[in-house]
Amino acid sequence: MIPKETINKIFEAARVEEVVGDFITLKKRGVNLLGLCPFHGEKTPSFTVSPVKGIYKCFGCGKAGNSVNFIMDHLQLTYPEALKWLAKKYSIEVVEKEITPEEKEKQTERDSMLIVMQYAQRYFSENMHTTDEGKSIGLGYFVERGLSNNIIEKFQLGYSSQERRAFTEAAVKAGYQPKYLASTGMSILSNNHVEGTEITVKDVFDRYAGRVMFPIQDDGGRVVAFGGRTLSSDKKVAKYINSPETDIYNKSKILYGLWLGKKSIQQTDLCYLVEGYMDVIAMHQAGIENVVASSGTSLTIEQIKSIHRFTKNIVVLYDGDEAGQKASNRAIPLLLEEGMNVKLLMFPDNDDPDSFSRKVTIEEFKNYLEKNVQDFLLFKAKKLNVETKNDPIKRAGVIKDIVESIALIPDNIIRSIYVKDCANVMEIEESILQMEVNKIRRKAGSKGNTGTSAQDQSQTFNENKNVFTEDLTQEKEEKEILKFDNEEKELLRIMITHGNVLINIDAEDSENEDHSLEIAVAEYILFELWRDEIVFENPIHQTVLDEYISELANQRLPDLQHFSNSQNPLISTFVINHIHSNHELSVRWKSFGVLVSTEVSNIKKGTQHLLFSLKEKKLNQYILEKQDLLKTSADEETQGILRDILHLTTLKSRVNKLLGRIVIK
């Protein structure tokens, strides 16, 4: 358990704009900050951060919370893990009780896998710096490639011994279970292991024997995978081996170098995209940190979105050979489609960033990057225009290729500028180019709306018939819950924001004599709900209510901050969405010179109205349930049900009278 005092220190230190700003670029918008939401794909910013309130909210997907919630959601951590992550970031000491063997046993597999990866990184680094083999082969390789000690340490580089079981046996000896060595992909399960039996050290062996090691980190700086490069000249041996997909590593989402480069990407508003690990490291060695690589895979939409959170400007630095050009041709359409501003830089003599950086000085390398960056589409248009100058058929194909690239750009203004510039380069009328672009975009837009054949539709309906019926049932249940949403939300809002306000109510003593009683609003609401045995229909609302009752039972009056900082994301999200954003009417109209009485001055009347309205809806629900029961009941049960309906209807009429409603039948 983390002490309450420590948790308070973490919340005070972890300003939401700083925490969120580590993962997305935020721009000032009035008193708030705005950026691209990291939780869903969007091209127009709708993710708002309020430094004053200490919260964030996305108006696109509805995600909301505080700094701890953000780390929990973004890095997929538990509440205690997120607190520890932030404590480490802000150098706050966390003193916990010692973990018992029982608690160790309860640790999730994901936690155990991350711990194994931390150990692996330390092991490979120490192995490279402390063993003769590591120093002569592993460290010798990196030094030969021109890397400084600072860069080697910065990227936590290491070496895996040629002995096929060295890492596995060391890890097991250090207390790490063989099953987690296998699940992380650090060790390989042998064919001799019998499926369904416990994995032992004899069943696993090293994946990365005789390789230099590149740790791969996620957005939060945690090692989740490795890349291992062989130093053997044997062409039958794979040059690179990367970690397999695991519960902690999704290679389509991770960008190598993003953790170390994101601050520089934000500051420069530019990202360099390269192919390999050494390309990233070489550019850091040259003092250029705003660089990432796609970790040995083709660039994916998820990776592009990760870059887009920090900048929309990207320079592709793929190798100058044929493979590099093919890689860039695959990546650039995806970048254009995601609204990125794409530029291209090719190195001479089939060099890559790593090899070229070792041929020139740091200053010459930086100058080359600055002077040789070209706009991708214009570069492509000029190059292909020259190559097809005297071949009309090839020229037509090139123009079609350019048009397809332009059509991918989502921004109308940018797209029209490219049409004009490329028309000049290709020596073709702008209107013709624009017409072809529009044709492609219309075709692409209609693809999502084109119907399938009647036979396919019938088959799909039959296959999903049960699911469709279940959805209708669920939708009906959700509508029933929504009937009570307004009253439940408003009662919770009043309890949280004005729960300690005192009001006078009429009460009876044991001798049925009337008295005026002073009571807090929260106590009054809770008493009324308890007296009529009312439970909130919306489970989220009931969760918040239960938390409120629990705090009162412990002699604490929970306030807005308590709920905003709740470790339960359901509670904090609800409060941020429905309490923080609900301002008093007087605040909104004050600037217009309209005087409106404050909510507190009418708190009693407003609270009673909400309670009566909720009760009226509950009574109506009970009456409908009884009426449904009447349709299927036996004759001997009918009279009793009718009496119940009459009683409930009478109560409903009284409540409506208190609400000032006239019910006309």
What DSSP letter does each residue of 439-474 carry, written as one string?
Answer: HHHHHHHHHTTPPPPHHHHHHHHHHTHHHHHHHHHH
Q: What is the helix, strand, coil percentage profile of the chain, to 5?
A: 55, 10, 30
Fold of 4-89: DNA Primase; Chain A (3.90.580)
- Residue 297 in tokens: 């895979």
Stretches where the chain sits below pLDDT 50 are 106, 448-478, 481, 583-589, 592, 595-596, 661-665
Please state which CATH number belongs to domain 108-248.
3.90.980.10
* 122 Cβ contact partners less than 8 Å away, ≥ 6 residues apart: none
| C-alpha span between 420 and 417 (Å, rounded) | 5
Q: How far apart are CA 376 and CA 317, in angstroms?
A: 11
CA torsion through residues 358, 362, 367, 370, sign: positive
Q: Which of 373, 376, 378, 375 is nearest to 423 (CA)?
A: 378
Nearest CA-CA partner of 257 in 282, 228, 277: 277
Dist CA 40 CA 30 (whole Å): 24
Burial class (CB in 10 A: 0-12, 13-18, 19+), 535: exposed
Angle CA 329–330–335, to nearest 5: 95
29 beta partners:
32
- Residue 535 CA to residue 614 CA, distance in Å, equals 11
Beta bridge partners of 505: 517
What pLDDT is attached to residue 73? 85
- Domain borders along the chain are 4-89, 108-248, 376-445, 475-659
pTM: predicted TM-score of the whole model, two decimal places: 0.65
Q: Look up the CATH number of domain 376-445.
A: 1.20.50.20
Give the closest residue to 380 by CA, choosing from 315, 425, 424, 438. Answer: 425
Are the beta carbons of 289 and 260 closer than 8 angstroms? yes
**Cβ atoms of residues 66 and 572 within 8 Å:** yes
